[in-house]
Amino acid sequence: MTMLSAGAAASHRRARAAAVRLCCLGYCLLALLFTTATAAPPLRVFVSILPVKTFVERIGGDRVQVTAMVQPGSNPHTYEPTPRQVAALSESELYFRIGVPFEQSWMDRIRGMNPDMKIIDLRTGISLRNMGDHHHHAGSDQEQVSKDFHIWTNPRLVIAMAAQIRDALTRADPAGAAEYEANYQTFAADLRALDAKIRSLFAGLDNRRFLVFHPAWGYFAEAYGLEQIAIEVEGKQPGAATLAHLIERAKREDIHTIFAQRQYSTAPAMAVAHAIDARVVQVDPLAENYVASLLQFARSLREAMQ
C-alpha cells in the first residue's frame, strides 16, 4: 500500500510539472504573439542613391525600411522613377535628398505625391563645390544644377550627413532615439577609420593629379589634397581645342590612367586613353557597399599615381 501511494504521488508530481511547463509555454506564445502584433512597423524611407541607403540602414537598423530611387547601373543624371517607386513614395514617411540631377525635375512631383512625407536635404550645412562655370540666380532650385552633389565621396562629410539622418529618424521615431545614437556613433567611428586609411595612402605622394571622365570625385580630391582633371563637365563633351589641351596636359604630367564611371559609356574615355597611351579603370561612386568601395577606389588611385 505504501509503495502504491509513493508511485501515485510521483505520478501526480510529474503531471503537475508537465502542466506548469505547458502553461509557461502558452504564456510565452501569447507574449510572442502580442509583441508581434503590437510592434511598430519600420519607418518607410526613400533615398535618392544607394550610398545614402547604406547610411540610413547603418543608423536605422531594423527600425527602417529603405528604398533607393536610382538603382544599380542607372545614371542619376537621366534617371526616371518607375511606376512602382512612384506608388511606394505615396506611403513613405521620410525622403533623404542629396541633389542628384533627376531630383531637380522630380522634387515638386515627389512632394505632391505625399505632402505629409518629410524631405531632408543632406546638403544642408555643407559648402558645395561648383560643377562648372555656369551661374544662376542665388536661391533658385536651378542653381543646384551647377553644384557638385557628390558630397558622399568625402567620408568626413558623410559623418555630417549621418548626424542629419540620426536626427531625422529620431524626430520620426522618438522611441528609437537611443538605438539611432548608438548606431550613429559606430558608423561615425567606421568613417573616421576609413578617412585615416585613405589619408595614409596619399601621405608623401608627389604626383597628386588624376584624370577622370566624369567629375564625380571633387570632394574626395579636396579632402586628400589631390587634383581631379575631368574630361567632361555637366554631361558636355569637350570641344576639339579643349580635348587637345587635355591630351597635351596628360602627356606632360605623365598620366596613364583614366577613371571612368560605370554608369557612363566608356567609349569617350577610351578615345582619350588611346591618344595618351593610357588604360581605363572603371569605378563606381554609387556603389552600395560604401566603405569597401571607396577604399578600393583610393587604392586604385594611389597605384595609378605612383
Query: Does 51 lie in the same domain as 180?
Result: yes
Residue 13, classified by CB atoms within 10 Å of its CB into exposed (0-12), middle (13-18) or buried (19+), is: exposed
Query: Does 295 lie in the same domain as 193?
Result: no
Within a domain: 6: no
Give the list of residues 6+ apart from residue 177 with CB closer than 8 angstroms, or none: 170
Query: Does 54 lie in the same domain as 175?
Result: yes
Q: Tell me the pLDDT tens digit for each residue of 277-292.
A: 899 999 999 999 999 9
Q: Tell me the pLDDT tens digit for each residue of 99-156.
A: 998 898 888 888 888 999 999 999 999 999 987 533 333 333 444 447 899 999 999 9
| Residue 179 burial (CB count, 10 A) | 17
Give the list of residues 6+ apart from residue 167 with CB closer than 8 angstroms, or none: none
- What is the mean pLDDT of the segment spanning 154-175? 98
Full domain range(s) for residue 301: 205-305
Within a domain: 26: no
- Among 122, 51, 60, 84, smallest CA distance to 293 is for 51
Tell me the percentage of the chain whose pLDDT exceeds 70. 81
The domain that contains 174 carries what CATH number?
Answer: 3.40.50.1980
Has residue 29 got a pLDDT over 60? no
Query: Does 227 lie in the same domain as 274?
Result: yes
Question: In this structure, are residues 185 and 84 in contact, taking their beta carbons and an 8 Å threshold?
Answer: no
What is the overall mean pLDDT for the chain?
A: 84
For residue 304, the model assigns a pLDDT of 92
Within a domain: 10: no
Question: Mean pLDDT: which of 4-13, 197-206, 262-271 is highest?
Answer: 197-206
Query: Does 216 lie in the same domain as 172?
Result: no
Give the chain as a 3 state SS string: CHHHHHHHHHHHHHHHHHHHHHHHHHHHHHHHHHHHHHCCCCEEEEECCHHHHHHHHHHHHHHEEEEECCCCCCCCCCCCCCHHHHHHHCCCCEEEECCCHHHHHHHHHHHHHCCCCEEEECCCCCCCCECCCCCCCCCCHHHHHHECCCHHHCHHHHHHHHHHHHHHHHHHCHHHHHHHHHHHHHHHHHHHHHHHHHHHHCCCCCCCEEEECCCCCHHHHHHCCCEEEECCECCECCCHHHHHHHHHHHHHCCCCEEEEECCCCCHHHHHHHHHHCCEEEEECCCCCCHHHHHHHHHHHHHHHHC
pTM over 0.75: yes
Has residue 27 got a pLDDT over 70? no
Query: Does 209 lie in the same domain as 191?
Result: no
Within a domain: 37: no
Q: Tell me the pLDDT tens digit for each residue of 63-97.
A: 999 999 998 888 888 888 888 998 899 899 999 99
Query: Does 117 lie in the same domain as 245?
Result: no
At which of 169, 199, 229 does a domain end? 199
- Of 44-58, 111-125, 214-228, 257-271, the poorest mean pLDDT is in 257-271
Has residue 301 got a pLDDT over 90? yes
C-alpha to C-alpha distance for 255 and 240, rounded to whole angstroms: 20
| Residue 77 burial (CB count, 10 A) | 14
Question: In this structure, are residues 26 and 48 in contact, taking their beta carbons and an 8 Å threshold?
Answer: no
Question: In this structure, are residues 227 and 205 in contact, taking their beta carbons and an 8 Å threshold?
Answer: no
